[in-house]
């Protein structure tokens, strides 16, 4: 995976913010219940969430790196790269509202999530950073097509370290939207639901996926 992939994943996280607010807006909004929004709680929550993304990226990167060490690795590399860009295309179409293709993918994580979700109850309501951080660690495993799209790219990173960095870049991209969701939740949710915002985000993410496919075709002399 080229180093430009880190910037691409950061932008995917940033542009996919409309999906982030829809998935996690209620969670971060709950951190402000019973009082004014506090930056310390939201920073701690998001630090935990992004750390979980990085851990998942390390796992994906290690698995992808191990598969590339197998005999006849070139077909495996192509398959992983194809999957990563296919997920980006699916995400772009998902944000555009054209298809629900990622909904079944999100459903794949439901079994794990059923075991993780109850653990978060002990930290709610989160009144301190010490409660918000482990809550973020747990909710970082929430089934999410946006996250799974990024993880597909982490599979192509080649190692656990680079996989973690890929997901760290992605997580930092999601940070502005979710910090704002916690501080000005209502207004941001209204903004994220606007058709023009979702169309622009979907087209840009879709563009990343198509660009990846074009690069793959060009490298094989298809045009």
Closest-CA residue to 1 (of 53, 50, 64, 56): 64
* Number of independent structural domains in the chain: 1
pTM beyond 0.75, yes or no = yes
Q: Spell out the long-range contacts of 30-34 with Cβ–Cβ below 8 A and sequence spacing 24 or more.
A: 30/124, 30/125, 30/126, 31/125, 31/126, 31/132, 31/182, 32/182, 32/183, 32/185, 33/125, 34/125, 34/127
**Rg of the chain, C-alpha, whole Å:** 18
Which is nearest to 93 in space by CA: 205, 175, 172? 205
The count of other CB atoms within 10 Å of the CB of residue 185 is: 19
Q: How far apart are CA 54 and CA 59, in angstroms?
A: 9
Q: Domain range holding 163?
A: 4-219
3-class secondary structure, 62: helix
The Cα 98–Cα 77 span in angstroms is 29
Would you write out the chain's pLDDT as a tens digit for each of its 223 residues? 555 568 878 888 887 766 665 555 556 666 655 445 577 888 898 999 999 999 999 999 998 888 766 655 667 777 777 887 787 787 778 777 776 666 676 676 777 778 887 887 788 777 888 988 998 898 888 878 788 888 888 888 889 999 999 999 999 988 887 777 665 554 555 555 566 666 777 787 787 778 777 776 676 565 5
3-state secondary structure labels for all residues of 10-23: HHHHHHCHHHHHHH
């Amino acid at each position: 995976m080229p180093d430009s992939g880190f910037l691409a994943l950061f932008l995917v996280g940033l542009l996919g913010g409309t999906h982030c607010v829809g998935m996690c807006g209620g969670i971060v909004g709950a951190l402000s219940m019973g009082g004014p929004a506090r930056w310390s709680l939201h920073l701690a929550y998001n630090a935990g969430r992004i750390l979980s993304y990085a851990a998942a990226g390390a796992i994906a990167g290690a698995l992808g790196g191990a598969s590339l060490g197998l005999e006849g690795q070139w077909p495996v590399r192509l398959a992983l790269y194809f999957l990563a860009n296919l997920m980006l295309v699916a995400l772009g179409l998902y944000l555009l509202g054209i298809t629900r293709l990622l909904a079944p993918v999100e459903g794949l994580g439901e079994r794990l999530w059923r075991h993780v979700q109850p653990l978060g109850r002990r930290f709610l309501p989160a009144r301190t950073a010490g409660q918000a951080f482990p809550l973020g660690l747990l909710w970082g495993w929430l089934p999410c097509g946006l996250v799974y799209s990024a993880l597909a790219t982490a599979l192509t990173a080649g190692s656990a370290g680079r996989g973690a960095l890929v997901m760290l870049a992605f997580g930092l991209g999601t940070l502005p939207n979710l910090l704002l969701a916690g501080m000005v939740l209502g207004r941001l949710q209204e903004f994220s639901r606007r058709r023009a915002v979702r169309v622009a985000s979907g087209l840009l993410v879709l563009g990343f996926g198509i660009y990846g496919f074009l690069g793959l075709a060009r490298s094989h002399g298809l045009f």
